Chain A
Amino acid sequence: MFAQQHGFAIELPLMLDQSRKMTQRPLSPHLQIYRPMLSTSMSILHRITGLGLVLGVAGLVWWLSAAATSDAYFALVQGFFSGWFGRLMLFGMSWALIHHMLGGFRHFLWDTGHGFDLNKVEWLVRANIIGSVVLTIALWIIAYWVRG
């Protein structure tokens, strides 16, 4: 009687249903529920390039270790990096480094509280991807021009 007066009889099942929904709702970060956008893709790409650069560090340490070891070992590593697979890896790493660095400049700007309105964000992420591709190609032109 009391429950019906106050609408509990109707609300209780609803509340139970809602609490079930609450426990089942997605928790952050469920990236797949958001519509893919350039800015979010670039945020993910910033992380992926950063993670991938561990291969660049490993390659660099391998190269330095070889230089500190022996002529034969260094020749082997130099040979690997001048082959097509080595060059492809270096190209990927140089792009990842430049892209991650430009993304870092974007984050420095955001750290100062600037560049947050949507137009600026869109402009910044476009500048990041275009800039990284252009600078990487420029770097490789310089590398081929200097050393062949």
Chain B
Amino acid sequence: MIQPILQIEDLHTHFFTDRGEIPAVDGVNLYVNPGEVLGVVGESGCGKSVTSLSILKLIPQPPGRITGGSILFKGQDIVAMKEREMRSIRGNSISMIFQEPMTSLNPLFTVGQQIGESVRLHRQFSKKEAREHTIDMLRRVGIARPEAIIDEYPHQLSGGMRQRVMIAMAISCSPELLIADEPTTALDVTIQAQILDLIRRLNEENGTAVMMITHDLGVVAEMCHRVAVMYAGKVVEEGSVHDIFKNPLHPYTQGLIKSVPRMDEDRRRLFSIPGNVPILNTELTGCRFAERCENVMPVCLEKLPELQECESAHSCRCWLHETPQEEVV
């Protein structure tokens, strides 16, 4: 078996607020293989972004804190790392693309100054080298006239251009893992396709592993090799894209797939999963999805099912697919 580049085990990131302790990430297990695109899907508030910020240890602290588990990046535990070591990883081996290209750039500096920052930090490039490298990067992310764009300010660029700039910034040290936190959510549809294409090209050409956080199953189907479905701070189903779409096991995944609007069916109303993501606290017992599940059974309300391999390389956290006699510890 290949050694995964990133392996998250039983990660807990909790937020300590006035209303108590909120387990935003509650025992997540994930791995990303080298050169792979992993999709992480789920509704808003299910812990996707917190997971990705935890990987770079960028959780605002307080109120947040990684309270347990490990994040192994190439065998090294990030959770135990000191801030100094963390800084040498951020932007160098792991980098991140954010959701809002409008607000992820400092309005007071040119895009060139901002992209060049990371090679100047990690590669000790001079100003001149950084500039050349930046022009190179801008060209690679498909920006025409990079020599001119490099001296422009963020407000002079369109949303799609800014997202390209963000990607250029993220890949300028050739990271081994790229975390893309809903990189296309804030963009319009035509630009979305171009940005996704760009990310896929980076993955294919450089073998950069990508962790794609999204709530858009269309994006997942188009981009990812493997998918992890998250719900209420936990991974509820994980498998190859093919398996997840062909044979979704968890009722939540089934619901998500059903709620994608389809052109070939004449349905008056779009399907949506009834209810909302539960308000998380540490006292929840039972399956987090039980309240909204159409197949709910008495056991679902009492005990939390484990994430189990149901088919080969396809696991699911649901009592429907668990062998009943097995006792959960």
Q: Is the pairing of A and B real? A: no
Q: Which residues of A contact B (CB under 8 A)?
A: none
Residues of B within 8 A of A (CB): none
